[in-house]
Structure 1
């Protein structure tokens, strides 16, 4: 059986479900809040050394591995550890520790209790989590007002240049998705009432110019409207993002409370 650090992701980030990406980002932000981290570089080594109760007997082991920068292990006695290669470059160690910290959370009993959707395949999401944890979008946007070089930003955040380059592409040049209307419609229809009805009323009025109470649009109709009108897509995407940010605040508060942080 391959070590956990050697298992390759099955999907690219662009193929991951939007809902899972959102939850991964919430977890990263919740950890930053729990540890009261307010700016780069994120002290990921100290976060493991002073693990929160949710990580259950997690320890950091620093030694010469020679195979990979870091790896997660569950021991026979139930203890858990993240082994880090001291010979790896400093930025590579930090990125690897962040990745394995996500694996450690997915392997925790708390993640199972929450029904965390990424538990079965944490390695699909750990690269994404590491970038969100070490390079929060708001921090990167602020830092870019002072330094626009990839090398300078990578040094400031303490991450590999390749990671910073990819994160900048995510934040400033998100890739177009051919199924974006369908994806946004799916997110909309996953909302609970009364939010779903309110969004559908808006869609029916703007896109179909008809009385919403007479005909409730289907998910496919909404997807078609979004694909046909870039302006409508941007407006609805903005409204959904605003609504989800409010939910993010609630989830972050919940995660922080569950982490038993002071």
Structure 2
């Protein structure tokens, strides 16, 4: 695995590098945003780890530019920003996941393995069973296209698409946040349930209707996808 890390804190880079060596990961470290973006364009990478706050070009801009170029390389964003609005912005710009500082290197490694594993599985998947059709949705896993009542939905982030795919495959089943982290993100629960909540909230805004939210909160348990008419509560 070859990973480009764009992070201006050298102590954080040193910590990550130690775990990379232990895990057999080939890491390259850049401390400047613009330089990191140029390095990304001139290399072949399995994953990018990008800090939010960087000299000359911030991490959000890097994510946005990469996604505008239609590159689906997995991106994990590191951020000291802890508010939900900041996390949403990073995800909206194309990050597959985010890790809030200070973080556990073990948790970071788990997320690295998860997003790269899912990316590889997605590329290897065949055409069979790639199209999922329900009462309101038509989703193509190969082309990553989604249609709601015949109209295209074009503003889903990569992880929002994955989460919607999972729920379409498991209608009316209730899943806890921990189960969703394991099944969709691919890593065990590390105390960051807000990752799931943020994505559910964004999906509700993007594809939900006034009387058809699709994603329902099951209090004390988690969430379920149900296309029957119903009102959810935040």
**Fold agreement, TM-score > 0.5:** no
Structure with the largest fraction of strand: 2
> TM-score with structure 2 length normalisation?
0.28
Structure with the largest fraction of helix: 1
Which structure carries more relative contact order (alpha carbon 8 Å, separation 6+)?
Answer: 1
> TM-score with structure 1 length normalisation?
0.26
